[in-house]
Amino acid sequence: MNIHQKFPAIEPRTIGSQLVQTVDGREVHAFLKVGKDYSTWIKDRIKRYGFVEGVDFIVVSQSPISGSGNRGAKDEYHLTIGMGKEIGMVDRSAKGREIRKYFLAFEEKATAPARPMSPAEMFLQNAELMLNIERQAAETQRELKATVARIEAIEETAPLKAKPQNTETISEIRQRMNRKYGLPERIVNQAMNTLPYRIRPFAMVKNSHENAQGSSFAVYLILDVTKLFTRFAGECQQATETTCTHPAIDGRFKMQKTGTA
């Protein structure tokens, strides 16, 4: 909770491909003084009122303390101002009405005609923007380290003897996404490895080739891969007749945005 005010702090975050103002769900829960625990409460609100991840909120997984197994691991929910208002409205309490008015006032202030900023204000705004960028970069780095740790843990376990049904290798993914969207291998690799919603390998499979020397390879659930690239394609913007752009990819790349069967 912001120590300089009694209301939850509001800060910009990327949801989908848009930079929007958000609020920490845990701070909203604390402000409303809800009786039930936070995790149960936020999941109940999402299910009951049909909030959609990637549209109304995002979930950031905090890594557990090293050596503690899963203890200490938790999911943090960052909500749009619109979702925060609706939660305040359905709470039907004095606190709910109070926080809803707070969000409404914030929106009114944000949409009001802005007066020209002084040099000092511009400097402060740029400093705050850089601070937020650094925080998000640090958060992304923590998530990447956690993902690498999970992959390493998978690699350390005994690999499967055969590739399970309904899975595919990275080579098969590249071929399928090239047929479906015309995506180059480079873009498929970036989507699989760098997107915020990238997927984890389903399993490691022992390479049975006589020259493989006991190596193994990762396989992914076909359904998960399809969902990832459907979302990726939906976030792409048409640049020319044959190329697109994506917020997480540098430059233009070849793509058939509509896809093929």
pLDDT one digit per residue (tens) for the chain, 261 residues: 444 358 899 999 999 888 999 999 999 999 999 888 999 999 999 999 999 999 999 999 876 655 555 566 688 999 999 999 999 999 989 999 999 999 999 988 877 776 777 888 888 888 988 998 999 899 999 998 888 887 777 666 667 888 999 999 999 999 999 999 999 999 999 999 999 999 999 998 988 765 666 688 999 999 999 999 999 999 999 999 999 999 999 999 999 877 665
CA end-to-end span of the chain, whole Å?
A: 49
Residues 150, 244 within the same domain = no
Residues 178, 136 within the same domain = no
Q: What does the alpha-carbon distance between residue 113 and residue 125 come to, in Å, rounded to a whole number?
A: 17
pTM: 0.41
The pLDDT of residue 50 is 94
Residues 18, 107 within the same domain = yes
Residues 141, 183 within the same domain = no
Whether residue 145 is contained in a domain is answered as: yes
The answer to whether the CB of 235 falls within 8 A of the CB of 221 is: no
Whether residue 261 is contained in a domain is answered as: no
Residues 122, 195 within the same domain = no
Q: Which two tokens stand for residue 9?
A: 């702090």
Q: Which domain holds residue 139?
A: 117-156
Tally the domains of the chain. Answer: 3
Q: Which two tokens stand for residue 58?
A: 């995002």
